[in-house]
Amino acid sequence: MSADIKVPTLGESVTTATVAKWLKHPGDAVNEDDPLVELETDKVSVEVPAPQAGVLGPLLVPEGEEVEVGTVLSTIEAGKGAAPKAAAAPAPKKEAAPAGVQAQPATPGPVARPATPPSDVAAQGAAAVAFPSARKMMTEQGVSAAQVGTGTGKDGRITKGDVQSFLSQPRAAQPAAAARPPRQDDPREERVKMTRLRRTIARRLKDAQNTAALLTTFNEVDMSAVMQMRAEYKDLFIKKHNGVKLGFMSIFSRAVIAALQEFPAINAEIDGDDVIYREFVNLGIAVGGPNGLVVPVIRDADKMSFAQIEGTIAGFGKKAREGTLKIDELSGGTFSITNGGIYGSLMSTPIINAPQSAILGMHAIQDRPVAVDGQVVIRPMMYIALTYDHRIVDGKEAVSFLVRVKQNVEDPRRLLLQV
């Protein structure tokens, strides 16, 4: 009995993926839930597991091909070639695993993780810029993607209609392929194809700059009270909340949530000619992983305690390091916080994660001389930055929001008293 291996549902607003790497070969015996193929989406990579034990059939879609949800990638034939479930070899340790391959979690279903550069992806030339039907027609007609030019498909990819339109032009009107010779790489250079995730990040950040009216305002926070409170209660906090540690992120998160409730435009978004205001906060928290930063989302963070926020962030950090974040954990945010201070950044201007309207940047804590009651004293200070979309957020709102965050952090009692 055979079972189809299909492209699974990929999450919110994600309808296509690229076949980044086949992890098994035709004829291989596989166990149920063994990872078979790695798909790369606009957000993360997804490993598709085997629906049953058996022998892998022909690969119906090659590496580098774009596929839609529901596309059949291959089949598995149940038979004597299948390895028994109980006889499966133990999963290799993470440090011994080949780059780009993740251990399969115990729960079935696709698992998402930050994309790794698939160095052996075979797609080249037109495969990166044209849909399969368009590539076939270009091959048959002897034309190149450079001659057809930028397509009308998603991300500028060439469609079959674009090729037909090009071929319908008089030959004299058809542009010739670019005469510029290809760039000659230095032997000391390494050329690596950008992953779909990195291309998407680059496009979205540039789109945010091109679309939104971005502006950044700065302030600084005296961290003395927070550091003193943390030192005084950290042991009790850990004991009370089953090992969850009290960090700065939960304090800044609660300070931000309180300020967002006071200035709702910063938690809103523009949709055409409308503004969508929200009565909830889905807080995106940038966390570091082996392949860079990802921004998982704490849903309904406004209803969570300090301990719940800390526990959720710690869980996201663990998943980011292990590469087990799921797609739905990376979408739906209404406001984001990024902490470049853990890498030593003193000041920066973060870029908003569209369609969000603002992002808060935290930075390194440094002892600096400041004036307090007419006296120069040394205090642990942190610069904070708010980048916002000036189309929806006025300067007064942005500055007032950042001042409120500063006040909430410098005097955490305000959070308890909600003042």
pLDDT, tens digit, 9 for 90 and up, residues 17-70: 888 889 999 999 999 888 899 887 766 778 899 988 999 999 999 888 888 888
Domains of the chain: 2-78 (2.40.50.100), 205-417 (3.30.559.10)
pTM of the model: 0.63
| C-alpha triplet 113, 205, 65: angle, nearest 5° | 50
Q: Quick one: pLDDT band at residue 170, thresholds 50, 70, 90?
A: low
Known active-site residue 363: no
Q: In which residue are the tokens 């189309």 written?
A: 391
Known active-site residue 185: no
Point out the catalytic residue in the list 207, 300, 367, 394: 394
Point out the catalytic residue in the list 42, 302, 390, 411: 390
Predicted pLDDT of residue 181 = 62
DSSP one-letter string for 180-240: SPPP---TT----PPPHHHHHHHHHHHHHHHHS-EEEEEEEEE-HHHHHHHHHHHHHHHHH
Q: CA 202 to CA 66: how far, in whole Å?
A: 19
pLDDT, tens digit, 9 for 90 and up, residues 220-278: 999 999 999 999 999 999 999 999 999 999 999 999 999 999 999 999 999 989 999 99
- The number of C-alpha atoms within 13 Å of 306 and in the hemisphere containing its C-beta is 20
Predicted pLDDT of residue 81 = 47
Q: Would you say 223 and 365 are in contact if contact means Cβ atoms under 8 Å apart?
A: yes
Q: Would you say 151 and 159 are in contact if contact means Cβ atoms under 8 Å apart?
A: yes
Phi, psi of 289 (to 5 degrees): -135, 180
Q: Would the pLDDT of 114 be above 70?
A: no
Q: Would you say 158 and 141 are in contact if contact means Cβ atoms under 8 Å apart?
A: no
pLDDT, tens digit, 9 for 90 and up, residues 337-353: 999 999 999 999 999 98
- From 210-224, 242-256, 287-301, the region with the lowest mean pLDDT: 287-301
User: What are the DSSP E strand ranges found in 2-156?
Assistant: 2-6, 16-22, 29-30, 35-40, 45-49, 54-56, 66-68, 72-77, 111-113
